[in-house]
Structure 1
Amino acid sequence: MRVYPEQLGRHLTPLAQCYCLFGDDAWLIENARSQLLEAARQQGFEERISLEQDSGFNWNDLQNEWQALSLFASRRIIELTLPQAKPGADGSAMLTGLMAQPNPDLLLILRGPKLAAEQTNSKWFKTLDNAGVYVPCNTPEGQQYFRWLDGRITANRLMLDSDARQLLATLYEGNLLAAEQAVQLLALLAANRRVSAEELSQYFDDQSRFNVFQLSDALLGNQQQRVAHILAQLKAEGTALPIVLWAVFRELASLLQLKTAMVQRESLAPLWSKLRIWDKRKPLYEAALSRLSLPQIEAMLALSSTLELKLKQGGEEDWTLLTHLCLLFDASAHSALVDTRG
């Protein structure tokens, strides 16, 4: 059964046989784990065993712990970390077999990275999912992130002006641990009084984190302020410009194929599949295609080639020119285009 982190508290009494905490956000995983351990303590689980699937791990160790009698408590917790979320053939068979031996005095907690579709479709995962609870602990984005932040603000009884809330969200997007620490600090500094953006800005620095895929979505969606913010953070974090340029070029190359087909009145249906653009992202591409002309896309590709030449021939990482290129995802910016291809 899939339960999102904010819903976990409603699924802890009684505890299920196992809980799977997989995702890319360390704070969400640790927070879910803390809730589980506290609920387990209240329900008489006093002994905890920790195992990790490292290079020398023996799956029989898990079976032995599952079948062993506790020397200290009647109820036990087994925590198993899967660093790659890939138990292999032996592990898959072991986990599947153990779930066929339900034991109300044992609680199994699995932890690991974000799962791919092939893993959630595997037999071992489906068996665990049926026997217990799967908590996807992935860093929330967009409105999900704002809902999470609002929840933390409410839980800590903070009173923030709307502009202060927006600033806090901007400063810590993609970094839940830092956001949680900031909220807790604000709860101490500003208990029982309203906080403005001006006051909040005196306390904190920008600690948001982004990746090039988030940049791609912002470019296609013509979110220029967000694009500028993401670029600044990627540069500050030391992200190599070739990685960012690769992401931008990939989107331009896709737009070129799609726009060419549109101009020639061809169906886009085969291209969506060929370019691996799934339904969820189609509206972003459709928006970009509706505002950008074919000559504009071609001009942007020419500019990306200039950036690539600077990198390959002179080793120059021209973030200013890259920013210029990103601005051109707004069609209105093309009227001020300066020819930099020479």
Structure 2
Amino acid sequence: MELRPDRLERQLAGEPLRPVYLVAGAEPLLVQEAADAIRARAREEGYTEREVYDVDARFDWNTLTQGIASLSLFATRRLFDLRLPTGKPGKDGSEALREFCEMSPPDTVLLITAQDWSKSHAGKWSEAIARAGHLVPVYPLKTHELGEWLLRRLRSRGLVATPDAVRRLADRVEGNLLAAAQEVDKLALLVGGGARGPSAEAIDVEQMERLVADSSRFDVFKLVDAALAGEPVRAVRMLAALRGEGEQVAGLMPMVAREVLSLCGLARAAESGNVMSAMRDARIWESKQAIYRRALERHPASRWESFAAECGRIDRAAKGRGDGDPWLLLERLLVAIAEARGRKLLAS
């Protein structure tokens, strides 16, 4: 069965452990917490022996198969913890995992964790896991989902906060769930008994300002995503945060230029009506296709070509081979991408 991460704990509490679990996705905190919940449940059920396997290009899948088949000298129940960073076991691994699912030995649980997941990772091996156990895909939270996640996190620590305070917390930790989790835990310690329980007084925005450090950690991927999503204020704020953290425009431009050039090709494809096919060919992640479509609707192909030319100008300025303040030029480019009146902004 396929489960969302927020349903996993209820499922674990309501049934005996399944023989196999796959927890996979690019959000490390959510993957770690889901896997920890499975490990904790295994300990409760007497799975006291745990063997860890780290899969790399040289991993011999017979090692896992033989380990599972061997008799334990120390415990009757064993948990096999398989770390599969890429989420792709290859031919030998797929076969080994399918065989385990079809003939899983008693008193054995196989937990597989991966740091990446999409439909391209799925195959007969993951289908076998979903039939015999649970597949828990973990996707990065979208911007509009962060507030609800923070609310649940606060409630789990016995805290109440006003909507404005939750929004301020989201602003401070945007996109960084590890920082968010740390800030919520810190709030639980600092607030103490003053705002706990359903009848407690809610933390307001002023308290949130005082208690929460500015833990925003923006990267260039989220910077470009904000511009493509049509969020100029957010993009400018991210750029300022990157500058404050000591980043250089020359280091940011390769990714910005790559995304803009990709949009150039997609914009030309859109004019002939083949944009979805072009996205598949370009291997654009499904989670990003919506913001790509919005960006393509905002600007014609000719404007994307002018954005690409501007990337070259900014790169030259950043390397001292052109005129202008590279930070200001990059800010204008990002706002231009985010706004339908982009050409006028670049001309100013």
TM-score, normalised relative to structure 1: 0.82
Distance 1:259 1:37 in 2: 47
2:60 aligns to what?
58
* 8 Å contact from structure 2 (residues 23, 114) kept in 1: yes
Deviation of the 1:145 alpha carbon: 2.4
Q: Residue deviations 1:40-88, cap 9 Å, x none?
A: 1222222212222246643333222212223333211111112333333
Distance 2:165 2:334 in 1: 28
2:314 aligns to what?
307
1:124 aligns to what?
125
* 8 Å contact from structure 1 (residues 139, 176) kept in 2: no
Tell me the SS of whatever aligns to 1:159: coil
**Change beyond 3 A, Cα 1:293–1:196:** same
**Change beyond 3 A, Cα 1:261–1:97:** closer
Distance 1:77 1:91 in 2: 18
Q: Residue deviations 1:216-273, cap 9 Å, x none?
A: 33223321221112223343455553564345445555666777799xxxx5412443
Q: Which stretch shifts more, 278-287 or 327-336? A: 278-287
Deviation of the 1:155 alpha carbon: 1.2
Tell me the SS of whatever aligns to 1:78: strand
1:153 aligns to what?
154
Q: Residue deviations 1:296-325, cap 9 Å, x none?
A: 656545533321332456389812210022
**Change beyond 3 A, Cα 1:35–1:203:** same
* 8 Å contact from structure 1 (residues 327, 333) kept in 2: yes
The residue identity in structure 2 corresponding to 1:305 is G
2:9 aligns to what?
9
The residue identity in structure 1 corresponding to 2:21 is Y
Distance 1:106 1:327 in 2: 55
**Change beyond 3 A, Cα 1:314–1:27:** same
**1:255-266 mapped onto 2 (5 Å cutoff):** none
1:30 aligns to what?
32
* 8 Å contact from structure 2 (residues 23, 138) kept in 1: yes
RMSD between aligned residues: 3.3
Tell me the SS of whatever aligns to 1:181: helix
2:44 aligns to what?
42
**Change beyond 3 A, Cα 1:313–1:229:** closer
* 8 Å contact from structure 1 (residues 114, 136) kept in 2: no
* 8 Å contact from structure 2 (residues 126, 135) kept in 1: no
Deviation of the 1:286 alpha carbon: 5.6
Aligned residues: 334
**Change beyond 3 A, Cα 1:279–1:157:** closer
* 8 Å contact from structure 1 (residues 8, 32) kept in 2: yes
**Change beyond 3 A, Cα 1:285–1:108:** closer
Distance 1:135 1:287 in 2: 29
Matched, 1:235 2:239: no
Distance 1:72 1:226 in 2: 55
**Change beyond 3 A, Cα 1:336–1:238:** closer
TM-score, normalised relative to structure 2: 0.81
The residue identity in structure 2 corresponding to 1:308 is D
Deviation of the 1:100 alpha carbon: 2.2
Distance 1:78 1:258 in 2: 44
1:138 aligns to what?
139
Q: Which stretch shifts more, 286-295 or 21-30? A: 286-295
Distance 2:259 2:298 in 1: 15
**Change beyond 3 A, Cα 1:239–1:87:** farther
Q: Which stretch shifts more, 162-171 or 277-286? A: 277-286
Distance 2:257 2:250 in 1: 10
Tell me the SS of whatever aligns to 1:195: coil
1:209 aligns to what?
217
The residue identity in structure 1 corresponding to 2:8 is L
Distance 1:308 1:218 in 2: 20
Tell me the SS of whatever aligns to 1:22: strand
**Change beyond 3 A, Cα 1:54–1:292:** closer
Q: Which stretch shifts more, 49-58 or 140-149? A: 49-58
**Change beyond 3 A, Cα 1:93–1:304:** closer
2:172 aligns to what?
171
Matched, 1:274 2:278: yes
Unaligned runs of 5+ in 1: none
